[in-house]
Amino acid sequence: MITVEELTTAIKNSIDNKGMLEEQANDLAQRVLNFFGYSDRIIDNVLEPEDRDAFYMLEDAGILTTEREETTLYDGREWRIHYWIFRRERIGELMEGSEDSVSSQGGSQSLYDDLPDDIWRRGE
């Protein structure tokens, strides 16, 4: 089972190099976990459009993935059921990456810090 704290950390580390505010990541984690409960998989039909947008964002970050199942109905029509699934391995990587990314970047150092000042002048 994935905890709110674990998912919050994974979300913060997946958004971009600056991360997301702790409060925003925590709110999103709680919202997502409310759908999943104790399961790793939910059916797409339970989502409202704004919730689905958040799920697509988490899919882009690698936290969620989709799966579909096809079945034949009694009248011969094909029926597709779409699911959202947690990617536990990726969540673990993102959680571990929180310490690695800070140490490998030397804290909050920017890649522009090492460039000389005259690099920004246009050639004349």
Count of domains for the chain: 1
Structure confidence by residue, pLDDT tens digits, 62-91: 999 999 999 999 999 999 999 999 999 999
| 117 located within any domain | no
Provide the pLDDT for residue 106.
41
| 13 located within any domain | yes
> By residue range, what is the domain housing residue 66?
4-97
- What are the b/e assignments for 91-113, b being 16+ CB within 10 Å? beebbeeeeeeeeeeeeeeeeee
Strongest mean pLDDT among 4-13, 76-85, 89-98: 76-85
Rounded to whole angstroms, what are the CA distances from 108 to 18, 61, 101?
9, 22, 10
| 105 located within any domain | no
The band of 102, judged by pLDDT with boundaries at 50, 70 and 90, is very low
pTM of the model: 0.69
Q: How far apart are CA 119 and CA 123, in angstroms?
A: 10
